Amino acid sequence: LAKTTQPISMDSYEGQEVNITCSHNNIATNDYITWYQQFPSQGPRFIIQGYKTKVTNEVASLFIPADRKSSTLSLPRVSLSDTAVYYCLVGDMAGGYNKLIFGAGTRLAVHP
């Protein structure tokens, strides 16, 4: 069973870079790592996904080391609107990658 571990909460200030690390020691060879953002009373939305090394899009960057046992979501120059819960997600081999279990997520609070 692939499990993820993230810090429960983080605090930052506007304009700073935020890095959230997720541990997934049992990640399968074929599995991707996907990050989601959730605002209160809304469903999570996709942020970024990667398999190895570095991925960057208009919202964030994702760093994945060679052993793929962890990943780091990097949010450049955060604003108040980035206050949300961030989840990393990997598949579950036992469920044929269809069984998608979220971890507890990281609650990010951005302060003025």
Site residues (vs other proteins, CB under 8 A): 30-32, 34, 36, 41-46, 49, 51, 85, 87, 89, 91, 95, 97-105
CB of 6 to other proteins, least distance (A): 10
- Which of residues 41 and 112 has its CB atom nearest to other proteins in the complex? 41
Q: Give the chain's radius of gyration (CA, Å).
A: 14
Pairing relationship of beta strands 106-111 and 84-89 according to DSSP bridges: antiparallel
Of 11 and 17, nearer to other proteins (C-beta) is 11
- Shortest distance, position 104 Cβ to other proteins, whole Å: 4
Give the phi and the psi of residue 45 in degrees, each rounded to 5. -125, 145
- Closer to other proteins by Cβ: residue 69 or 99: 99
Look-up of token digits 């996709």: 46
Residues 44/107/72/12 CA torsion (nearest 10 deg): 130
